[in-house]
Each structure stands twice: as C-alpha cells, then as structure tokens.
Amino acid sequence: MVPIQMVDLKRQYLKIKPQVDAAMTEVLENAAFINGAPVQQFTTALQDYLGVKHVIPCANGTDALQIAMMALDLAPGDEVITPSFTFIATAEVIALLRLKPVFVDVDPKTFCLDPEQVEKAITSKTKAIVPVHLYGHATDMEPIMAISRKYNIPVIEDNAQAIGGHYTFADGTRKMLGAIGQIGCTSFFPSKNLGCYGDGGALFTNDDTLAAKIRMVANHGQSARYYHDVVGVNSRLDTLQAVVLNIKLPLLDEYIKARRAVADAYDAGFAGIPEITTPYRASNSYHVYHQYTLQLNGADRNALQQYLQERQVPAMIYYPVPAHRQKMFADFGGAAFDLPVTDSLTSKVISLPIHTEMDADQLQHIIDSVKSFLNQNSK
C-alpha cells in the first residue's frame, strides 16, 4: 500500500508533471516572474469559473482578508463578527488592524456561523461580518445576506477552504462560494483544493468601486505608478504560482469529485457507529471536503490519534483551541465570549486523510483502523 498522507501533493503533481514543468520552464526562460501573462490568464479564468466580475490575486489568503478589511475602510474599534471555530488567520487580521473581533457560535451540524447568533451580536459598531465556509461546507448564506441588507453591513466570505463549492438559495438560484458576499477571499496554499506550489491568494467582488479600491490597497495604495492615494500593502501572486493554478483550475471539479468519493466511502464505512458523527451535508450546500472531519461521541480523541499514527494513518485536529481562547485575544476580551457549541466541537473533532489520489486499499485501512480502535475501547 502506498504510504498514506493527509494530502498527497507529490502523486497529484506527477499526474500533471509534463504540463507544470513545461509552463514553469517557459516562465524561467522569459524571466517574467512578476505580473507575467499567466497571472492575467488565471485571473480571467477564475472570474469565469466563479461567475464574478472581478478577481484580484494576492500573495496569500491572510493578505486577502486584510486587504478586504482595508478596502472597506474599517477603522480601529469597529466590530467584526466572525466565528471562533476557524483557522486563526480569520480573526488575526481583525486584531492586526486594531478592529474588535466579536466571536459568535456556530451551527453544531455544519460548523459554520449560526445566523441567529450573528444577528444577536450586532451593535451600532458592527462594520463587517466574516462567515467561514469551514472544511468545505457552506455557511447558510441566505439569512446572512438578509442580515447584511437589513443592517447595511458588508459580508466578507472567508472561502479559503471551500473554493469550487456552491450554495443554493430558496428560489433555486445557485452561486459559487466566495461570490455571494460583498467580497470573497481565498487561499491557494498547496494543500487547498485548488493549491499552488507556494503561497497565493485572491479576492473576489462584483462591485466595480470595491474592486478598484482592492487593487489599489494590494499595490502599495497606488492609483498610478508612484502616486499613492491610500495606505496599502505589497501583495501579489507571482507568475510561477499562476502557471500552476492555470493548469489546476480546469481540473478543480474533477478534484472535488474525487474528494467527495472519498467522503462517500468514509460515510458508508462509519455508518451506524454510535461513537462517530460523520460530516453533515446540508441540502443547499455542495460540500467540497477540504477536510473530512468526524465528531467523536465518548471516544478518546487523543488515544485514537495516537493509535492511528501507530498504524501509519495521519489524523489532524482542526482546531484544538478556538480563537476566543487563544492568548492573543486576551486583550480583546476573548475569554468573555460564551460559545458552548464551539467549545464542544473543538474537544471532539478529528480529521482523516482526504485528497485526490486516495485509493481503495488506503481507505479500507483507515476505516478498519478507526473501527479497530473503537472496538478495543468500547465501554
């Protein structure tokens, strides 16, 4: 059996090696390392894929979130509503800009922002809402956008884990994740469903004025070369990363299909086991399974992780400490937030390997290993 990886990027690369090597060699020969033609080609292709007017590439997903907040002219002290159950970058940029993170609880099934809790958290100082499409499942965006309209508060979608996913509204309208709020943000970190071979990110919007501001902020605040209208940053996608993304983007739907097939196999393998709750799939969300995350009910998570490691099965905990309990947010009153669902989930979740290259032997070994542990440790 091929050694199991959480994400097997080498095997994925080998399938597209001739195209990647040729494209990278062309960049090296042309020496157009910054803003080469492949960057614009990728931008246009991703706009078409997502159905948005503007895609603005940048250096990474964290930069994308920061640029979005800067483009909205958020000021120190403004409140930004976001989940605590997320990768730290979502909340980190809020604090970096001296905004106030307002952590709200998540839906216990989807692990994404609970719209009812969002509305309860709104004050006169609320200036943005940042839903996170965690693990590849969509936040329930219809009520989130209704709240956005009701209170005139912009929505920044953190779509770092769910590119290629989509959400269906009650009237049947389907929109790609990241293309629903005023601004969408994503990451092209190598392990993402659409990943490059280094760092990369992008922002999406249908608002022409916002797009112009985002481009300006991402390029040193320039309106024209050497004319700086606002304080900005230096954040761009380099040409070598763009050529990889140009090759991978047409394969994204195929990659997602492969991930969903792995999830189907896991679902079937763990069906009927009381100690396991498999990932929920809302009918209005097309889950793209950036992670396959179990909830354990009464089983010892750390012992399971150790047992799997001994059987050469990697398993990860995303995320063991929620943002509101991190030391970095102590000065922002993090400990004062009462988030029982978040606290419960962070003590129960464990993610199993899922990627585009998994084969039947690997899957069966993982399923058998989890079952073996539970059988040996059942009460």
The structure tokens listed for 312 are 């050469």
3-class DSSP state of 135: helix
- Residue numbers annotated as active site: 192
Q: How far apart are the first and last CA of the chain?
A: 32
Question: Is residue 367 a contact partner of residue 4, using CB atoms and an 8 Å limit?
Answer: no
What 8-state DSSP symbol labels residue 339?
A: -
Radius of gyration of the chain (CA): 21
Question: Comparing C-alpha atoms, which of 192, 196, 198 is closest to residue 177?
Answer: 192
The structure tokens listed for 173 are 């309208």
CA-to-CA dists, residue 50 to 61, 131, 161, 209, angstroms: 17, 18, 15, 19
Q: How far apart are CA 153 and CA 10, in angstroms?
A: 43
Question: Residue 128: enclosing H or E segment and its boundaries?
Answer: strand 126-129
Burial track 12-48 (b if 16+ CB lie within 10 A, e otherwise): beeeeeeebeebbeebeeeebeeebebbeebbeebbe
Q: How far apart are CA 125 and CA 278, in angstroms?
A: 38
Angle formed at CA 323 by CA 326 and CA 320, multiple of 5 degrees: 85
Please name the residues in contact with 136: beta carbons below 8 A apart, sequence gap of 6 or more: 161, 162, 165, 193, 259, 287, 288, 289, 290, 291
3-class DSSP state of 143: helix
